[in-house]
Structure 1
Amino acid sequence: MNVAFFLIPKKDIIYLKENATMRQALERMEYHSYTAVPLINSAGKYVGTITEGDLLWKLKNTPGLTFQNTEDIFLSEVEQHVQNLPVTIDAQIEDLISRAVVQNFVPVVDDQQIFIGIVRRREIIEYCSKLLLVARNPSDA
């Protein structure tokens, strides 16, 4: 089974460009109740994942930075403390499982590293759960 089966395309998810501001990220994450969002550059390439923790650390460690002036800080200036490694569209389920252990979602890129979507941990767990059920009860398949 390959990644394409689980892919949620870019058009159906929330992501941010690295030239977005901290304030835009905070507001979007709050509105959608997300704790992490994929980050892409102007060419559409995946460049990382911005997390609530990254934003909080930037706020804490930048003298004079308040919520009101987070609109002056670009996401490219915010250090990413977690590296959500992407997979390519031709990756297999095993590649997803190993990443989903430590990531809520797995970013998916094409051969040119262009961001094309994500696979959520939930879909991976549901797939594995179905496999376990079939293994226990082959007659239910």
Structure 2
Amino acid sequence: MNIAFFITPKEDVVYLTPNSTMRQALESMEHHRYTSIPLVDDDGSYIGTLTEGDLLWKLKNTPELNFQNTNRILLNQIERHVHNKPVYINANIEDLILTSINQNFVPVVDDRNAFIGIVKRSDIISYCYNLLSLSVEKV
């Protein structure tokens, strides 16, 4: 099976750029109920994932920072503590599943590192559950 079957394409994914503000990240993550969000540069390349933890650590370690002035902090000023590994569009399904074990979503890139979209772990689990359900019904 090709991993393209699982992809949520870039145009349907909420992502931010390194020049987005901390406030934009907080509001976007709250609105969409995300715990992390992909970061894509101006050239369209995947550069990492921003997590709630990254935002909390920035807030904790910057004494003068509060919600009112988070619009002054750009995302490229926030240290990222977790590296969500992307997979290439031509990766095999085993690599996708192994990568998804420790990530809520897996970024998908092409051979130039251009961000294509994501594969959500929940979609992989649902697919596997449906396969198991079909196998049980046949028995």
Instruction: Give 1:135 deviation, angstroms.
Output: 3.8
Q: Any gaps of 5 or more consecutive residues in structure 2?
A: none
| 2:107 aligned residue | 107
The question of 1:47 aligning with 2:47 is answered yes
Paired residues in the alignment total 139
8 Å contact 1:96–1:124 — kept in the other structure? no
CA distance in 1, matches of 2:68, 2:3: 41
| 1:83 aligned residue | 83
TM-score by length of 1: 0.93
Amino acid at match of 1:25: A
Task: List, as ranges, runs of 4+ consecutive aligned residues in structure 1 with deviation greater than 2 Å.
Answer: 130-139
Amino acid at match of 1:29: M
The question of 1:32 aligning with 2:26 is answered no
* Cα deviation 1:43-95 (Å, max 9, x = unaligned): 11101100111001001001201111111111011111111100011112111
| 1:8 aligned residue | 8
- Percent of aligned pairs sharing the same letter: 60
Amino acid at match of 1:21: T
Instruction: Give 1:109 deviation, angstroms.
Output: 0.4
CA distance in 2, matches of 1:4, 1:43: 22
Instruction: Give 1:134 deviation, angstroms.
Output: 3.8
| 1:66 aligned residue | 66
Amino acid at match of 2:64: G
Select between 45-54 and 125-134 the one with higher mean Cα deviation: 125-134
Instruction: Give 1:130 deviation, angstroms.
Output: 2.6
CA distance in 1, matches of 2:84, 2:59: 22
